[in-house]
Amino acid sequence: MVVLHRIAKRAVSMIPGGNAGSVLGIHVFHCPDAVGIVAKLSECIASRSGNIHSVDVFVPEKKQVFYSRSEFVFDPARWPRDVVDNDFNKISKLFSAEKSVVRVPDLDPKFKIAVLASKQEHCLVDLLYRWQEGRLPVDISCVISNHQRAPNTHVALFLERHGIPYHHLPTSAGNTREAEILELVEDTDFLVLARYMQVLSRRFLESYGKDIINIHHGLLPSFKGGNPSKQAFDAGVKLIGATSHFVTEELDAGPIIEQMVERVSHRDTLKSFVQKSENLEKQCLTQVIKSYCELRVLPYQVNKTVVF
């Protein structure tokens, strides 16, 4: 407990609304709907002298399902990190929760991710830049690509400077290199496909067993597959967009997490369509990674998400 208190004091100076040494906690909850869930969660935090900052609740109409996300501040010297987990686990068992997760960003390790990318670099470069600036709460364990990059390119130099391994695994119709990828990403928390233009098999998804986030350069479910910018341009759309979704076995059909749009007109060319689309992709992918790490994304039904 003494060691934990020292870590907390070193990591955090002051949380708005809390005392010196307070840290921010996040709790997400998904369980069958019942009377008294919010009361029990509030009682748990208050009984440990924690202070609730916000609570988001979603109960779908005519469905016995409850979702919540709470932010609270607490003193880890009075409420040790392991006891926080134990307290919320008791509530989880009480309400037969499907999901109950606590995260304390200033005490818990950052999410460890691997980034998969192909030839196009705009999403990869943007992620690396934001990571370098400390704007993404992740540690990048490696970058994997089916496209080779020369040692003197800006991406290769960046990765070398920051000690991030780069793995070139060229693929073919008969060899997708999935077994090798699985070995490289085994200890990651989730994967990010930053324009990785390969379809991952059911076997890969089942073997990895954790979430994989993809960015699609179009507004799903329209314009699936290849070259959606040209599809949209040829269709004469007035809005273009980008979609971030979880990866499933079916191409571009996983649960949608975030979508961003921008207006276009008859004055746009295919080139300006692509430029605007790429900007949206970068923004959309960054937002989803932040939302995921802040425990704002929960699965809902078969093919939907709740995003607080």
Say whether pLDDT at 182 is over 50. Answer: yes
User: How high is the pLDDT of residue 225?
Assistant: 67
Share of the chain above pLDDT 90, in %: 73
The class level of CATH for 23-103 reads alpha beta
Lowest mean pLDDT, pick from 7-16, 74-83, 185-194, 254-263: 7-16
Say whether pLDDT at 3 is over 70. Answer: no
Domains of the chain by residue range: 23-103, 111-307
Share of the chain above pLDDT 70, in %: 92
User: How high is the pLDDT of residue 33?
Assistant: 97
User: How high is the pLDDT of residue 250?
Assistant: 86
> Do residues 51 and 42 make contact, with C-beta atoms less than 8 angstroms apart?
no
Average pLDDT in the chain: 90
Per-residue pLDDT band for 8 (boundaries 50, 70, 90) equals: very low
Give tens-digit pLDDT for 210-232.
999 999 887 776 766 677 777 77
User: How high is the pLDDT of residue 302?
Assistant: 84
Token pair of 39 as six digits: 């009361």
> Do residues 85 and 105 make contact, with C-beta atoms less than 8 angstroms apart?
no
Per-residue pLDDT band for 253 (boundaries 50, 70, 90) equals: confident
Say whether pLDDT at 166 is over 50. Answer: yes
Name which residue leads in pLDDT, 31 or 217. Answer: 31
Which CATH code, of 3.10.20.90, 3.30.565.10, 3.40.50.720, 3.40.50.170, is assigned to 111-307?
3.40.50.170
Catalytic pick among 75, 126, 189, 252: 252
Distances (CA, A) of 182 to 87, 173, 210, 288: 35, 18, 11, 23
User: How high is the pLDDT of residue 9?
Assistant: 39
Q: Model pTM?
A: 0.87
Per-residue pLDDT band for 18 (boundaries 50, 70, 90) equals: low
Is there a catalytic annotation at residue 82?
Answer: no
DSSP 34-73: -TTHHHHHHHHHHHTT-EEEEEEEE--TT--EEEEEEEEE
Measured in whole angstroms, the distance separating CA 97 from the mean position of its chain's CA atoms is 22
What is the C-alpha separation between 146 and 173, in angstroms, rounded?
12
